[in-house]
Structure 1
Amino acid sequence: MPHVNIKHFPRDLDPEAQKALVEGLVGLITQAFDVSETTVSVALEPVEPAAWRDRVVLPELHNRSDLLARRPAYDIA
């Protein structure tokens, strides 16, 4: 039952762009985890730039750095 939550700076994706993003992710996830696409959920969560450090960097990147499969190029300390 993979779930992906993408936190991102606010950006309006038109329905076609959002659909393409989600379908691409679901395709990769189903292949990598060998699951049905009906088991995959995807959330898109906008986070204001001013809140990025408190809502993403510290709790998700710094405090859980052992789970990162890919680190960002910016400082997460």
Structure 2
Amino acid sequence: MPHVHVRHYPRDFTAEQIRAIDDAVTAAVTRTFATGEDTVSISLEPVEPEDWDAHVLTEIAARRDLLVKPPGYWNEK
């Protein structure tokens, strides 16, 4: 039962963009996990830019062992 949670700066997505995200992420997850589309869930969570470091970057740093791809803007210390 894969779940993909995407946090991003706030923006308005069109229905077409949401469908494109759903299609692309679902295709990658079902292929990689060898599972059906009905087992995949996806959520989008907007995070204000001024809250990014405290809410997102802090978690990334604390859980770096889980990262598949670190952010290019992050200068690890």
Relative to the length of structure 2, the TM-score reads: 0.93
Q: Which runs of 5+ in 1 are unaligned?
A: none
Residue correspondences, number: 76
Relative to the length of structure 1, the TM-score reads: 0.93
Deviation of 1:23 (Å): 1.0
Q: 1:32 aligns to what SS in structure 2?
A: helix
Alignment partner of 1:33 is 2:22? no
Do the aligned partners of 1:10 and 1:48 also contact (CA within 8 Å) in 2? yes
Do the aligned partners of 1:58 and 1:76 also contact (CA within 8 Å) in 2? no
Q: Percent identity?
A: 39
What CA RMSD, in Å, does the superposition of the two structures yield over aligned residues? 1.0
Q: Which runs of 5+ in 2 are unaligned?
A: none
Runs of 4+ with >2 A deviation: none
